[in-house]
Amino acid sequence: MLNAARTLLTLVALWASVAAAQFELDLTGSDTKKAPTPEKKKGEKPGPADEGGLDLSSTADVKLVLLLPPVVKVTTSQGGFSGFDTRKTFEKFDFAAHKRFVMALAKALEGKVVAAEAAQAAITSEGITLALARTSAGRAKLARAVGAAQVVTLEFNKAGGLVATVHGDDGEPQGEPFTVANAAGLTQKHADEMGGLLGQGLIALAKAKAPESTPVVQAPPPPVQEDVVDAPPLEVVSPGATRKGWSPDPDRTRVAVAVGGGGVLRGLSVDGESAGQLAELRNNGVAGVGVYAQVSPLQFVPSLAASRWADLELEVHFRRAFVRATGVGGSVEGTRCSVTDDDLQLRGTYRVKVATGTYAPLVGLGAGWSQERTVFEACSLPLVSATYRGLDAQLRVRQPLFRNLVALDVAFGPRLLQSDQTTSGRLSLAGEAWLDVRPASVLFLRAGARGSRLAADLPGLVVTETRFFVALEVGAFF
């Protein structure tokens, strides 16, 4: 009986020890799980806590971009006679398609694009024509107006592909252009494709320009040194570097010079009581040479260069004819005289573009001083030597004919001749018409004519002259 009781107590003690051990194991090996970490939604960017407050997105280095409207050709048809093609083709901005391309690019660059409405408002307020948008000065002016770091233009090539060219805030091209083939319709598909290409290209350009991050190492304090005066560093300019402001631009001509030759024609009419004492003058066309120079001072000011008010010109023209006088018949047979026949004109002109558009004329006024003379030197022939000095007031019109490469420049107005004790000038006329051509680079061509009708009263004589200089001049512009 006693043994049975001992056995029972032993079993009870063993069971209690096992239960206590199990309880201890449950406390130390609890099933309590850690709080779950919230999962991030698909496409959600890491916050500042995840990335230390740094923007590590793909567009972090991209600055604000201004996308200009696509340039398209429009053909209009007007009524006319049967058999005649009256269609006219001109270029313009496509503002309707512009919105699609801005939205597509903004999606690729996460909104770092100037809104279509803001871009169109800047084009209007700054007076940017299609011709100006094709110049570095016009693009730079637009970039400053909206605070953009880059300007992108959209134009079609000859194969019908839409070409996007990236320019910096100075208006100069950056990188290689991007092309979407067969984009004549400017559909949403074309906009999305161009937006993707442009987005990748602008991100690549921005990353190439962004400086690489380097660890900051605190340098030890510099040793104490005596004061040393160093000369300022010399400005280093690479041999191939050029001033951007002096690149040739047909829309921004600062200086133009030209030299050429042509024919000089002169007609003289002499009346009055002393006219019978003079020899009959027979005038034939002779060869002449002309020199022309033009300076536009306001084009040197960057803030005014692209303005419609910047067309101020200062001009110099000189012409010299190669001519001599020879007596024919009577007592003057074979007599020869040297002749000075030349023309000098100094003039200033201010013109304003009367409307926006590539082919809008520029109209203004010109004023200047002129001298035309025909002087017979060391000559016994009974001829009249004449020197006409006067003040000109002219209406000036410049009409673009083909983009900014070909233009017609016309001037016409009265000339008030100066008088002295023996000569009284009459109201005279002067005018000219020139075809200006800037075909490539700095090349400058002028072809046209300059003419005048001069009248003066001398003692016993009334002299009336007509003069023309028809020439072709070749030079350069900057």
Dump pLDDT digits (tens) for 364-390.
999 999 999 999 887 878 888 889 999
Say which residue, 12 or 97, is predicted with more confidence: 97
Mean predicted lDDT score pLDDT of the chain? 80
What was the pLDDT predicted at 406? 95
Q: β-pairing, 324-326 with 336-353?
A: antiparallel
Contacts of 407 (CB under 8 A, 6+ apart): 398, 399, 400, 401, 435, 436
Residue 459 near residue 422, CB atoms below 8 Å: yes
Give pLDDT tens digits for 251-260: 788 999 999 9
Would you tell me how many other CB atoms lie within 10 Å of the CB of residue 338? 12
Q: What is the pTM of this model?
A: 0.52
Q: What angle do CA 40, 44, 50 make, to 5 degrees?
A: 70
Confidence class for position 11, pLDDT limits 50, 70, 90:
low
Nearest CA among 16, 10, 140, 4 for reference residue 68: 140
- CA 66/CA 410 separation, integer angstroms: 38
Whether 247 contacts 462, CB under 8 Å: no
For residue 319, what pLDDT is reported?
A: 97
Which residues are paired to 118 by β-bridges? none
Closest by CA position to 454, among listed 385, 390, 358 = 390
Q: Which residues pair with 466 in a beta bridge?
A: 267, 453
pLDDT(84) > 60: no
Q: Is the pLDDT of residue 343 over 90?
A: yes
d(CA 268, CA 280): 10
- So what's the pLDDT on residue 8? 56
Query: Average pLDDT of 444-470?
Result: 93
d(CA 91, CA 155): 10
Binned at pLDDT 50, 70 and 90, residue 416 comes out as very high
CB 367 within 8 A of CB 393: yes
Q: What is the reported pLDDT for 217?
A: 52
pLDDT for 223: 61
Q: In the 8-state DSSP scheme, what is residue 182? A: S
Query: Is 90 exceeded by the pLDDT of residue 290?
Result: yes
Q: Is 20 exposed, middle or buried (0-12, 13-18, 19+ CB in 10 A)?
A: exposed
Residues 298-305: what's their mean pLDDT? 84
- pLDDT at residue 243 tops 80: no
* pLDDT the model gives residue 402: 92
* Per-residue model confidence (pLDDT) at position 182: 87
- What share of the chain has pLDDT > 70, as a percent? 76
Name residues whose C-beta falls within 8 Å of residue 154's C-beta, 6 or more positions apart in sequence. 67, 68, 69, 70, 71, 101, 162, 163, 164, 194
8 Å CB contact between 371 and 386: no
Sign, Cα dihedral of 353, 357, 358, 359: negative
215-219, 426-430, 473-477: the lowest-pLDDT one? 215-219
Q: Given a cut of 90, is residue 347 above it in pLDDT?
A: yes
Q: Which helix (H) or strand (E) holds 49?
A: helix 48-51
pLDDT recorded at residue 431: 97
